[in-house]
């Protein structure tokens, strides 16, 4: 066995030991794994490499931090709850459509922040009682919230796994919007109907209206309350279409949107709200710093090249099987870590496919890491939101949907050139 192989085993071993045996945060485990790899691999000036690695995803970190500030402000202004109330009021007599639309509502925070946890704890917590009152079981509700959360995490405009994969192969985050929409929204519709269609038709949906608070919506009006969300999406589109005029960058767009939430809805302490949002998202930001160091040391020691060479030598059929198994399993430690450690090498092995569609599909597979125990962030938080003591019943409901997601993503990779030709 080569030196690079043993270095890879060492780094992954230290990483796993830190997470599982010592119960360290993922970010701290990645730091120690990077230090171990640098020392064992004889990296010259390891401190410089570690520092450079911490800045590897600084653009992504700024985007996530400001996006979470916006989403927290949008919630504290009463707009998120008002959005849910408006959807239910309009479509409560059409339970199938209502289930799909509420699933989309759950996805929104993940779309903006790139975090499945943000979706579960904000819009998921708001929508969960509505699903249950419509006739869905507690377990089905938790499962649907989990799925909507990871699909929102992958849907545009913010997809962190794709940013990580793109950063690893020097591919800009441009042109991913339509492929990500095709990868996520059809699945969201299918799973919303899967978990809710036959059950929600039996409920007394008019009873939900009495449980909703329409005071904020009546006082400020929908257009005013939702204007920050419209505002940031318009600026994002202009930033893509006419970058020479509206080259603001996503962090600045989210900061402007956050300021707007303070004047369009209920008054709240914007400083306290911003601090709370950073506290909530800090573990995710720490993971990205750790991922940057981990990738930097893997590159400096030749481990990354070793993985790429071996991935390229695998027959295509076996390559897809390895992707389907290894990426979600490694995501049990961190979906973002899986995108960096395995997503980047697999992407390099798929350079013969359409790169944008292949990277987007790999990010969808990586998102399943948020279903994998022991971390299983999406499932654990969804179980808490619906009031379950254990998350294992939710996990059992997610097995078949998880397999469908993997197959769907791999089909996109296999037929990426044909899909690109149609697009």
The confidence score (pLDDT) of residue 123 equals 86
Residue-level pLDDT at 375: 66
Residues of the chain with pLDDT under 50: none
Q: What DSSP letter does each residue of 178-225 carry, written as one string? A: HHHHHHHHHHHHHHHHHHHHHHHTTS-GGGGGGG---HHHHHH-HHHH
CB 296 within 8 A of CB 52: yes
Contact indicator for 49, 38 with CB cutoff of 8 Å: yes
Q: What pLDDT is stored for residue 201 in this prediction?
A: 63
DSSP for 73-129 reads HHHHTTHHHHHHHHHHHHHTT-HHHHHHHHHHHHHHHHHHHS-HHHHIIIIIHHHHH
Question: Of the candidates 66, 113, 118, which has an alpha carbon nearest to the alpha carbon of residue 256?
Answer: 66
Stated pTM of the model: 0.80
Please report, for the chain, the start and end positions of each structural domain, with discontinuous segments joined by +. Answer: 3-422
Specify the DSSP class assigned to residue 342.
Answer: I
Determine contact, residues 291/57, Cβ cutoff 8 Å.
yes
DSSP 3-state of 56: coil
CB 378 within 8 A of CB 118: no
Nearest-angstrom CA–CA distance, 310 and 328: 19
How do the residues of the chain divide into helix, strand and coil, expressed in percent and rounded to 5?
80, 0, 20
3-state secondary structure of 304: helix
């Amino acid at each position: 066995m080569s030196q690079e192989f043993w270095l890879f085993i060492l780094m992954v071993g230290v990483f796993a030991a830190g997470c599982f045996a010592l119960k360290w945060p993922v970010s701290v485990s990645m730091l120690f794994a990077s230090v171990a790899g640098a020392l064992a691999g004889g990296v010259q000036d390891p401190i410089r490499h570690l520092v450079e690695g911490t800045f590897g995803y600084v653009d992504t970190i700024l985007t996530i931090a400001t996006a979470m500030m916006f989403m927290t402000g949008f919630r504290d202004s009463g707009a998120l709850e008002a959005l849910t109330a408006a959807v239910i009021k309009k479509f409560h007599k059409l339970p199938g459509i209502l289930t799909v639309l509420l699933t989309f509502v759950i996805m929104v925070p993940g779309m903006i922040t790139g975090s499945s946890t943000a979706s579960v704890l904000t819009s998921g917590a708001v929508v969960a009682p509505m699903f249950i009152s419509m006739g869905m079981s507690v377990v089905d509700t938790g499962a649907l919230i989990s799925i909507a959360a990871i699909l929102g995490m992958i849907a545009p405009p913010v997809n962190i796994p794709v940013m990580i994969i793109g950063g690893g192969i020097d591919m800009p985050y441009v042109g991913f919007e339509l492929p990500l929409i095709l990868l996520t929204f059809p699945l969201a519709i299918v799973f919303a109907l899967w978990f809710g269609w036959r059950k929600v038709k039996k409920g007394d949906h008019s009873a939900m209206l009495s449980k909703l608070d329409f005071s904020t919506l009546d006082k400020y009006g929908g257009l005013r309350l939702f204007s920050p969300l419209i505002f940031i999406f318009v600026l994002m589109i202009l930033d893509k279409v006419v970058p020479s005029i509206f080259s603001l960058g996503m962090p600045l767009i989210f900061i402007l949107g956050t300021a707007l939430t303070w004047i369009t809805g209920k008054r709240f302490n914007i400083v306290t709200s911003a601090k709370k949002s950073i506290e909530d998202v800090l573990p995710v930001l720490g993971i990205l710093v750790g991922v940057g160091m981990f990738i930097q040391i893997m590159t400096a020691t030749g481990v990354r090249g070793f993985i790429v060479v071996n991935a390229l030598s695998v027959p295509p059929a076996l390559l897809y099987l390895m992707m389907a198994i290894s990426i979600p399993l490694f995501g049990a430690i961190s979906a973002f870590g899986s995108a960096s450690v395995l997503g980047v090498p697999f992407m390099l092995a798929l350079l013969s496919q359409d790169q944008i569609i292949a990277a987007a599909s790999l990010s969808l597979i990586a998102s399943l890491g948020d279903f994998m125990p022991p971390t299983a962030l999406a499932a654990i938080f969804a179980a808490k939101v619906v009031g379950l003591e254990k998350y294992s019943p939710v996990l059992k409901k997610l097995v078949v949907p998880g397999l469908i997601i993997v197959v769907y993503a791999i089909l996109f990779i296999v037929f990426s050139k044909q899909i690109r030709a149609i697009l």
